[in-house]
Structure 1
Amino acid sequence: MRRLLFAAPFLLALCALTAGQARAAGDFRLTSPQISDGAFLGQEQVFNGFGCTGKNVSPALNWSNPPKGAKSFALTVYDPDAPTGSGWWHWVVFDIPAASRSLPLQAAAAGRLPRGTVESLTDFGAPGYGGACPPPGDKPHRYIFTLYALATPRLDMDATAMPAQVGFALHALELEGKVLGKATLTARYGR
């Protein structure tokens, strides 16, 4: 009982600190002129291949109110509904400079990303944006755009990194407290 009474003030302080961080991180927002949260993707963001006939254009993304102390950002676009047993990585971008607050439309095209930014491999087998292309007849898939605010300037990986490796590194940073905040935008698509 004494241990519990001794630990109670510490636990209350930790809860208050965590709630404050959650509130601060809650202001961190990711938006797009092409995508509304919860809405369906347009043909511009759909893959061109595997039976899909989209334009495969990465959407413009804007973010605001990043957590203080962010030294870089990382972006992943992930489909947890892909029938692979492990989902599907559609876009993996990291080492986005801390001063950045947006990626332009078709940023995945050569030369349109901020200097120093790295695009690594996707599950399509190449770097760059790979649009939505779920199997015909599947319920609409979710495409989760997640922007990570990181307390480190670099991930120490290059464009040959597998998407799961980058995901693992981001998860490890989160466990170390080096993910200062995450902002998400979820779109859907089915055919």
Structure 2
Amino acid sequence: MIKLVVTFGTRPEIIKLAPVIQKLESHKGFNIVKIHTGQHDGLAQDMLSLFGIKPDHNLKSLASTKDLFELTEFLLPKLKTLFLNEQPDGVIVQGDTTSSYLCAMAAFYLKIPVFHVEAGLRSFDLYNPFPEEINRKQITTVSELHFVPTEIAKQNLLNEHVDSKKVFNTGNTVIDALFQIRNSEKYNRS
């Protein structure tokens, strides 16, 4: 069985990863461990509930800080401990948040393959959005597989010399999340 850690910390990450988590959990060949970094802890609870996601680990506390140094100091050691304890075959990160970047770096430091959902987005300005643009580029550098939402995102990665065999256009997972909500009992009861 393949053990994958799926990391998320913000509402958009939860929304975009919900269909991925659901699909992986429905497959008998995967053991999925969900880690909530707590970057938007209070704001995330409604999305976790909506999609029926129950984190296996919740890193509350300083994760909601706006200070990038404090966030790094708080999350990296906790992620190291969790990854060493869980011993995953891979770590899935989504998007470009600082918590995604830190999850990718912690996995990379431990030589655990990183799989990036919503890869290849670029503004071509390191300071806009900040720090998301540099987070995207660094996550790309350490990722083994890249799941892009568009052909433009795919081309961005190919232009950066990412191996085309490691880039997959999966479309935007937020569309899958919308279908998931539309087809849910919670939606149909409203």
TM-score (norm 2): 0.27
TM-score (norm 1): 0.27
Larger helix percent: 2
Rg larger in 1 or in 2? Answer: 1
Larger strand percent: 1
